[in-house]
Amino acid sequence: MNLKFLGTGSFFAKDNFHTNILLTLDDGYKMLIDSGTDLRLSLADAGEDVTDIDSVYISHLHGDHADLEYLAFAGRFIKNKKYHLIGVPSVLNGIKQKLMPGVSYLDDHYAGIEEFFYTQPICSSKFSLHDIEFNAIPMPHIDSRDENGKKKMIYSYGLSFDVNGTNIFITTDTFVNPSYELCSNEVLAAYDKADMIFHDCETFECSEVHCHYSQLKDLDNDMKSKIWLVHHQGKGNCDADAKRDGFAGMVEKGQEFEF
């Protein structure tokens, strides 16, 4: 299996694109993990063809993770194919509201989401691709309030999975880390089980919706040694030096991992 990071940046990334990941199984099946607004550019930069993608997993509804208009139109008008769209029910329902006003008005009729995607809601937080089972992990992302002023936690659903004896954990977006005292048992178990973690990390000012480099830097050495930093802005203004500080590394745009 191959993981290729089409980009490694946050929402405001310029040169390193959004943190979208292309997972390629040994038989050639390709799943895109998140689809940011610059997907068209990042695919071209990585030498990948959008129509070779088979499915897309969406972790949450922010635009640097869930802009699906390019995929919808590319599938329909370039290759006459539909992608499998995977996500927890709340994310899929949000995508329908977010996506459909932009793509529904075709030449001769009004199209529903089923004309562009096969939707696959995740039941019991698990889904399978061929012989790999994925666990969707609810990672706290924004501690907010709803329209009535009631407290509401917004989650981004990370992925934990085993391949060839290695457990991989992709946090997607979160403000928690393994030392965060209010981590759920499910989140802590995902950190503990992982052999390799791809963790979002801010390297400029702290926004309180992502872990900052300074927070992750204080983790114990055993945990840091299995963390690769993504969703970052490069070295930033915090003197980030991942190798020096005990991390596995800082992922670069286009970097690939083989398992």
CATH code for position 149: 3.60.15.10
Q: Using one digit for the tens of pLDDT, what is the confidence trace for 66-116? A: 999 999 999 999 988 999 999 999 999 999 999 999 999 998 899 999 999
Residue 21 lies in a domain: yes
Edge-first strand listing for the sheet containing 166-170 = 126-129, 132-145, 151-163, 166-170, 196-200, 227-230, 249-250
Which pLDDT score is estimated for 115? 92
In what helix (H) or strand (E) does residue 152 lie, and over which residues does it extend? strand 151-163
Domain-ending residue, one of 124, 152, 180: 124
Question: Is 259 inside a domain boundary?
Answer: no
Residues 3 and 78 placed together within one structural domain of the fold: yes
User: Confidence class of residue 236 from pLDDT cuts 50, 70 and 90?
Assistant: low
196 and 85 assigned to the same domain? no
Q: Are residues 4 and 92 in the same domain?
A: yes
* Domain coverage including residue 178: 133-254
Is the domain of 46 the same as that of 65? yes
pTM, full prediction: 0.95
Given a cut of 90, whether residue 235 has pLDDT beyond it is no
- Report d(CA 173, CA 178) in Å as an integer: 14
Given a cut of 80, whether residue 163 has pLDDT beyond it is yes
User: In this structure, are 249 and 156 located in the same domain?
Assistant: yes
- Tell me the per-residue pLDDT of 119-150, one tens digit each, with 9 for 90 and over: 999 988 999 998 899 999 999 999 999 999 99
Pair 149, 222 in one domain: yes
